[in-house]
Amino acid sequence: MRLLSSVLLSLILLPAAPAAWKAGVAKVNITPTEPIWMSGYAARVHPSEGVYAPIYVKAVALEDDAGNKTVLVTGDLVGFTKFITDPVFEAARKRWGLSRERLAINASHTHSGPLAGQVDRPVYRLEDKYAVVVKRYTDKLIEDVIGVIGAALDDMAPAEVAFEQGYAGFAVNRRRVGHREYPGPTDHDVPVLTVRGADGKLRAVVFGYACHATVMNEYEIHGDYPGFAQAELERRFPGATALFMAGCGADQNPLPRRRMELTRMYGEILAEAVDQVVAGKMKPLGGTIQAIYATPRVHFQKAPTRAEIEARIPKLSAYEKRHSEYLLERLDQDGKLAEGYDYPIRVWRMGDALTWVTLGGEVVVDYGLQLKEALGPDTTWVSGYTDDVFAYIPTARIIDEGGYEGATSMLGYGWPAPFEPSIERTILERVKALARGFE
């Protein structure tokens, strides 16, 4: 009797097992059904010529043991801008009560996908006959993103969620290709999140990598190496959905490139890295998902005056001239040029095993490396290209060095000047402050 009482008492005193999370998964085919202008390369001169492989938007919805719902959306596109995501955020708030801090929308940054929105940017400036196709596609895309969120939320079921990281080595710091004197940091980590059903079967695998999706530059629609990696993982894990999260790879390229065999090879390398993580021991996630969101202001350097813009136009290339004409249009319409931008930052804390940072824009690799060092390299995931891809996000070092990522990329995005070097400090300090708020 005493033994039985002792056993019962010990059972009562044991900590309660954490309540199971729930998860839902969904995907929607967003492959264009008609020729459409493609995104990513200013040198393209006509719409797409066909489809090499389908492209998708996908979603994973998670519900923690406190009932908090958090949703991740990924898409095989060069980028989502706020003109696409703002209507999605508003619809998600009204329909499902999802706040902006609990919904992240990430693009793979494939340069072999359709253009969505952005038709007035200097890099495109499309004729009306092409712009109307892009608008039609963009309107449908917004509906599809909202729809995939709802489908994932409707798919909720008990789940086991886990995290770990692998490694893949094909990303190269592209700034060193023309400037061997520059430092060449890379980030070869492959973060992986798995979602399994109560039966242990894999339902979803989310993975990331910090590298441009720019193997190909032709006129066929496909997801570049991230698309092939997702397809390969879905082949290896029947019934599971694979989702790719672009990391801080704005100054990283897959090299060598420009052959479809290389696109497939890099996709298979990345899929193999993920497969090895899934086959190994992963850290289970439990407890609550804490979420926070902020938009600190980042500033541009001094903009040129109207007189300065007009004086330089005769000396410019056609591409540079389009940018200057765009700035004059902005002056005519707004009376001034932009002085800064509200930069989107989100941090998720998933139990004690994962801090997930999402950043807007095309973020260079230094940000991911510095944030992982500050927050813990084994438990931190940093994603770029999230919510609003509106510009390259350089560090102070890269702004000082100049070049594409630090200066001339602003032409294609339509901004009047490069960022102030303070952008690096503003972003890093705000992310670290947000993460400390969970402690």
* DSSP per-residue codes, 51-110: ESS--EEEEEEEE-TT--EEEEEEESSS---HHHHHHHHHHHHHHH---GGGEEEEE--B
Question: Tokens in use for 167?
Answer: 């490694």
Average pLDDT over residues 160-183: 90
Does residue 195 carry a pLDDT above 70?
A: yes
Does residue 419 carry a pLDDT above 90?
A: yes
**CA atoms of 345 and 424, how far apart (whole Å):** 13
Neighbours of 287 (CB within 10 A): 16
Query: Can you give the pTM of this predicted structure?
Result: 0.94
What's the pLDDT at 3? 42
Q: What is the DSSP letter of 14?
A: S
**CA atoms of 242 and 236, how far apart (whole Å):** 10
User: pLDDT, tens digit, for every residue of 324-342?
Assistant: 999 999 999 999 999 999 9
What's the pLDDT at 118? 79
Q: Tell me if residue 34 falls in helix, strand or coil.
A: coil
Q: What is the DSSP letter of 38?
A: B
User: pLDDT, tens digit, for every residue of 16-65?
Assistant: 344 489 999 999 999 999 999 999 998 899 999 999 999 999 999 999 99
Phi, psi of 24 (to 5 degrees): -135, 150
Average per-residue pLDDT for the chain: 94
Phi, psi of 212 (to 5 degrees): -55, 145
Give the CB-side neighbour count of residue 157, counting CA atoms within 13 A: 14
Strand duo 157-167 + 189-197: pairing: antiparallel
Confidence tier at 210 by pLDDT (50, 70, 90):
very high
User: pLDDT, tens digit, for every residue of 96-122?
Assistant: 999 999 999 999 999 999 999 877 778
Question: Tokens in use for 427?
Answer: 């972003």
> Among candidates 221, 203, 246, which has minimal Cα distance to 137?
221
Sign, CA torsion 420/421/427/430 = negative
Helices 82-96 and 128-154 pack at an angle, to 10 degrees, of 30
CB 407 within 8 A of CB 413: no
Which residues, including other chains, have CB under 8 Å from residue 383's CB and lie 6 or more apart? 104, 106, 208, 245, 246, 247, 248, 356, 357, 358, 359
What's the pLDDT at 220? 98
CB 417 within 8 A of CB 304: yes
Average pLDDT over residues 135-144: 98
Confidence tier at 183 by pLDDT (50, 70, 90):
confident
CB 382 within 8 A of CB 372: yes
